[in-house]
Each structure stands twice: as structure tokens, then as C-alpha cells.
Amino acid sequence: MNFGRVFLLILALPLSTQACPGLEVHAAWVREPPPGSPGTAAFMQLHNAGTSPLTLTQWHSPQFGMTMLHATEVIDGEARMRAPAPLSLPPGEDALLAPGGLHLMLMKPMQSLHEGDFVSIEINCGPQARTFALPVRREPPAAP
């Protein structure tokens, strides 16, 4: 049994359950920001275990001044980031936020963060939001 994975799944359980029915967050982590860094990024696998489509419209963390979903694109050999449309998650579908692709940009940290700390992330599905606690790590969690 892989206790590391079980630990992560437990940590990613929602702190509130009213909104975004069926929304699951797996293998989530926030990259430990280098000292003096203006920001960092969060990665996760999102899953809609519900029976209705979910649209993730806004992202917020009380520990950062600015939080936004980003997509990385390589244009003329240069990686650029842009804000994608709100993320649609049909029932049974997954969306992967991973280094080099979709990611949650976390800018203007309010405090220093180190491996073992947690970042609170609110995900809005329409007017309501669910909050998840994401662990800060230096390296990605091992693949499941």
C-alpha cells in the first residue's frame, strides 16, 4: 500500500461540501516558491464525480494577492502563459493541471511558504465555492 498517496488524497478532501457537487481534487500540490519569488503555481488532477457539468469560473487563495488559471503555450519556441476560458468539466471527466500545461498561477504571496505548509484554494462553480487545502512541496508527488 502506498501511504504517500493515501495521505495526499486525505489532504485534498474538501473543507466544505455545499458547492460544486462531485468535484474532486487529486494529487494536488503547490510548488515551494524560491526565496524572494513573486509567485508560484499549483497543480492537480480535477475530476467531476457528479452527474451535472461543472464550470470552474474563479480561483482564489487568501494566502496570495492574485490567483488565476493559466495555460502554457509554446509560440515560436518560447513558452508563454495566457488566461484560458473557464474550465468546463463534464460528468466523469478529468482536467489535468501540470507543469508545462494548465496551472493555477499564485502571485503576490502574503507569507513565506515551505514544504509541509498548506495553501487554501477556493474554487468557484458559479456563485458558490469549495475550498481545498493543498500541500506545499519541492517536488511533484509520485505518479499514482
Residues that bind Cu ion (CB under 5 A): 70, 81, 105
Q: How far is the CB of 83 from Cu ion (least distance, A)?
A: 9
Give the nearest residue (CB) to Cu ion: 70
Which CB sits closer to Cu ion, 9 or 98? Answer: 98
What's at 40, amino acid-wise?
T
Burial class (CB in 10 A: 0-12, 13-18, 19+), 68: middle
Distance, CA of 22 to CA of 33 (rounded, Å): 31
Which CB sits closer to Cu ion, 26 or 70? Answer: 70
Q: How far is the CB of 11 from Cu ion (least distance, A)?
A: 23
Q: How far is the CB of 81 from Cu ion (least distance, A)?
A: 4
Q: How far is the CB of 19 from Cu ion (least distance, A)?
A: 25
Q: Which of 73, 65, 72, 78 is nearest to 38 (CA)?
A: 65
Which CB sits closer to Cu ion, 84 or 91? Answer: 84
A 10 A CB-CB count for 9 gives: 15
Which CB sits closer to Cu ion, 98 or 105? Answer: 105
What's at 89, amino acid-wise?
L
